[in-house]
Amino acid sequence: MPLDLVEVPGLACPPAFAGAPAFPGSRDPKKPLAGAALVAPNRLTRRDAKRRLLDATAAANAVRELGSLPARGESLHVVMRGNFHFWSIVPAVVALARPARVEVLHVATLGTNKANTASLCALLDAGDVRRCVFLASCYFRDASASIWGDLKAALAERGHRAAAVRNHAKVILFKLDDGRAIAVEGSANLRSCNNLEQFAMTADEDLRAFHARWIDEAVAGDRGAHAA
The structural domains of the chain, with segments of one domain joined by +, span: 47-221
The burial class, CB within 10 Å (0-12 / 13-18 / 19+), for 1 is: exposed
Comparing C-alpha atoms, which of 159, 107, 151 is closest to residue 133?
A: 107
The burial class, CB within 10 Å (0-12 / 13-18 / 19+), for 15 is: exposed
Chunked mean pLDDT (size 10), the chain, 228 residues: 38 40 49 54 47 57 83 89 85 94 98 94 97 97 96 97 96 98 94 81 96 96 57
Looking at residue 116, its pLDDT comes to 94
Comparing C-alpha atoms, which of 169, 19, 180, 43 is closest to residue 108?
A: 169
Looking at residue 51, its pLDDT comes to 46
Looking at residue 196, its pLDDT comes to 86
Q: Full-prediction pTM beyond 0.75? A: no
Looking at residue 20, its pLDDT comes to 42
Looking at residue 64, its pLDDT comes to 82
What is 47-221's CATH superfamily?
Endonuclease Chain A (3.30.870.10)
Contacts of 221 (CB under 8 A, 6+ apart): 163, 165
How many CA atoms does the CB half-sphere of 206 hold within 13 Å?
3
Instruction: Give the N- to C-terminal CA distance of the chain in Å, as an integer.
Output: 33
